[in-house]
Structure 1
Amino acid sequence: MPELPEVEALRDFLDARLTGRTVEEVQPLAVSVLKSYDPPPTALHGRTVLGVRRYGKFLGVDTGDLHLVTHLARAGWLRWRSPLPAAPARPGKGPLALRVRLVPEEDGPAEGFDLTEAGTRKSLAVYVVRDPLQEVPGIARLGPDPLDPGTDLAAFAALLHGQRHRIKGLLRDQSVLAGIGNAYSDEILHAARMSPYARADRLTEAEVARLHEATLSTLRGAVERSRGVVAGELKAEKRVGMRVHGRTGEPCPVCGDTVREVSFHDSSLQYCPTCQTGGKPLADRRMSRLLK
């Protein structure tokens, strides 16, 4: 799933290619993709793009009083097409969910982008709205962006204060902090040398400060690595930059201990016992149920 750094890189990528261009057509091709119906996608036809914004893990194409907003979810992706195929896209064919076609520039090729979604679990979402902050439910309930200058140490500590939840889940909670998902929460906790099972309300001031710094350094580093990478290569860049996430069984790059995994019904987390849990492996809940 694309998280804050990849979505920020996609924002940069699209902003450079869409701003000032005119939308010729927005064509939904999958029944499940469109989550709003008034105004319709055709209302965007003929509008000029003013810029592209990021809201947590959401992307918004701004055309003034109308916005095309998307959340790529677990298996969605964006593919820039230059040139676009001349033949019209056909609904129900493959992973293609939505196509945006731009009015060609003088003597230029037909260009635009496709939104695609692999697999059978369809979660990719597209909205056409007047006010993303009010009309897109996922944006309306977002917490502060961790890279916003206003999310300083004091604000970060206030977000954690009194939270009787494990820090792994809290970092992933979009109503607490916007944009962090499963992968980067693993990376942040490894950088902070903190157990994913630590309770937020039991962290010391020094631990909160360490977690805040790890959050900033991890996300900023990932954004910098992703900046300038073309859309089609961002997934590979994300994997290369991971130290523990997706590295089960490999040596920790800090201490050399073996990276371990805890599995849940629909996801898993990775961590280093030496760096994060005092050398003690965490119980794998999936295996625990099997042994009962």
Structure 2
Amino acid sequence: MPELPEVEALAGFLRTEAVGRTVERVDVMAISALKTFQPPIQALTGRTIAAVGRHGKFLDLTMTGDGAADLHFLVHLARAGWLRWSTSLAEKPPRPGKGPLALRVHLGDGVGFDLTEAGTQKRLACYVVADSSEVPGVARLGPDPLGADFTVDRLREILRAAGRAQIKGILTDQARIAGIGNAYSDEILHAARLSPFKPASGLSDAESTTLHTVIQEVLTDAAERSRGLAAKDLKSEKKTNLAVHGRTGQPCPVCGDTVREVSFADSSLQYCPTCQTGGKPLADRRLSRLLK
């Protein structure tokens, strides 16, 4: 799943490659990807990409038109979506089918991008709105962990409000903190030496300070590594630099212990027992506690 660092890198890539280009045509292959219908997606045709921003995991393309109010084209790539840039798009519209292509944006001279989504769970979402805050997912976002307002005190407020909720879920709850997903929450908790099931109310002041520092360090480092990369290279860069996420059965790069996994219905988390849980493995079931 693309998370804050990858979405920020995609935004940076589009600022370089797409800003100043005009939309010539939009081909919609998966109507399920369109979450708004007024204005229609074709209202983007003839508009110029003036800016590219990010809200949590949302990409936000500001589209300007002669004498018309700006529109915003927002994209949430969800779990299996991606943006594929091309300098050789076919002029002929693609055939609708069961492939991963959801939407294609033509920017002239063969340049443009595809929005694709693998798998059967179609969650990729596109919005055309007059104001980004009209998108419910944007309106409910918590603070950006790389923003100036994400201070230690703000994090402590979030933790206090969460009560006994587990820290893993707090980090991935977009209404509490924007932009962190399954992978980077695993990485943050490993670097902070915290169990994913530790309750928010159980964190000391020192632990919450460490957590704040680690959140910013992990995300900043990942964003810096991704900066300037082509869109096609971002996935492999992310996977290469993960310490525990997706590395079940491999040695922890810090202590050498075996990375363990807890599986849920539609996701899993990875952690190091020595670094995070006092050497004790977590039971592999939802809402697990340390094995007695």
The TM-score, its normalising length taken from structure 2, stands at 0.94
Matched, 1:158 2:163: no
**Alignment correspondent of 1:124:** 124
**Alignment correspondent of 1:246:** 246
Match of 2:106 among 79, 91, 101: 101
User: 1 CA distance for matches of 2:101 and 2:33?
Assistant: 10
Instruction: Please tell me the root mean square deviation across aligned C-alpha atoms, in Å.
Output: 1.2
**Alignment correspondent of 1:276:** 276
**Alignment correspondent of 1:114:** 114
CA displacement 1:94-148 (0-9 Å, x = unmatched): 211001111x3xxxx3210000111111111111111111x11111110010000
**1:27–1:41 CA contact under 8 A, matched in 2:** no
- Using the TM superposition, give the Cα deviation of residue 92 of structure 1 relative to its aligned residue in structure 2, in angstroms: 2.2
Runs of 4+ in 1 over 3 A off after TM superposition: none
User: 2 CA distance for matches of 1:181 and 1:262?
Assistant: 16
User: 1 CA distance for matches of 2:95 and 2:12?
Assistant: 29
Q: Which amino acid aligns with 2:256?
A: G
**1:95–1:116 CA contact under 8 A, matched in 2:** yes
**Alignment correspondent of 1:72:** 77
**Residue aligned with 2:24, SS:** strand
User: 1 CA distance for matches of 2:216 and 2:193?
Assistant: 15
User: 2 CA distance for matches of 1:86 and 1:280?
Assistant: 58
**Residue aligned with 2:138, SS:** helix
User: 2 CA distance for matches of 1:110 and 1:239?
Assistant: 30
Q: Which amino acid aligns with 1:161?
A: R
**2:142–2:175 CA contact under 8 A, matched in 1:** yes
CA displacement 1:190-214 (0-9 Å, x = unmatched): 0000000111112100000011011
More deviation, 115-124/83-92: 83-92
User: 1 CA distance for matches of 2:268 and 2:55?
Assistant: 25
**Alignment correspondent of 2:5:** 5
User: 1 CA distance for matches of 2:51 and 2:98?
Assistant: 30
The TM-score, its normalising length taken from structure 1, stands at 0.94
The number of aligned residues is 281
User: 2 CA distance for matches of 1:28 and 1:259?
Assistant: 42
CA displacement 1:6-27 (0-9 Å, x = unmatched): 0000000111111111111122
Structure 1 unaligned segments of length 5 or more: list them: none
Structure 2 unaligned segments of length 5 or more: list them: 65-69
CA displacement 1:204-231 (0-9 Å, x = unmatched): 0000001101101100010011111111
More deviation, 243-252/78-87: 78-87
- Percent of residue pairs identical: 63
User: 1 CA distance for matches of 2:192 and 2:156?
Assistant: 15
**2:27–2:93 CA contact under 8 A, matched in 1:** no
User: 1 CA distance for matches of 2:89 and 2:119?
Assistant: 24
- Using the TM superposition, give the Cα deviation of residue 156 of structure 1 relative to its aligned residue in structure 2, in angstroms: 1.5
CA displacement 1:163-192 (0-9 Å, x = unmatched): 120000000000000000000000000000
